[in-house]
Amino acid sequence: MTAAVRAGIEGADYVALSPTFSTASKDDAGEGHGLAMLSAVRAAVSLPLVAIGGITPDNVGDVIAAGADGVAVISAVVGQDDVTAAARDLRSRIAAAKAGKR
């Protein structure tokens, strides 16, 4: 978390928590930091916060509720048969979470 705070002090435009959850997209990503760490980073920085790693349609609402302003995904979209539908579904779930309607 100190890296996120330092990034803000040094003029970063945003911070990212990676991996938020464990992910199969990168073998060397390590274990996920989890929602508690995401919330702690949110409390520590005012910069936009992006969650990366292990984000799925099933957990994206919790990720937004924990304080992420946005997400970066790979398999949640490109790993699906219909990437357009997957992207739309994810976008809809993010919008609902931001509106408080998870």
- Per-residue pLDDT of 39-67, as tens digits, reads 999 999 999 999 999 999 999 999 999 99
**Would the pLDDT of 1 be above 80?**
no
User: What tokens does 93 get?
Assistant: 């779930």
pLDDT of amino acid 42: 97
Mean pLDDT is highest, among 2-6, 26-30, 72-76, for 72-76
Q: What are the structural domains, with CATH classification, of the chain?
A: 2-98 (3.20.20.70)
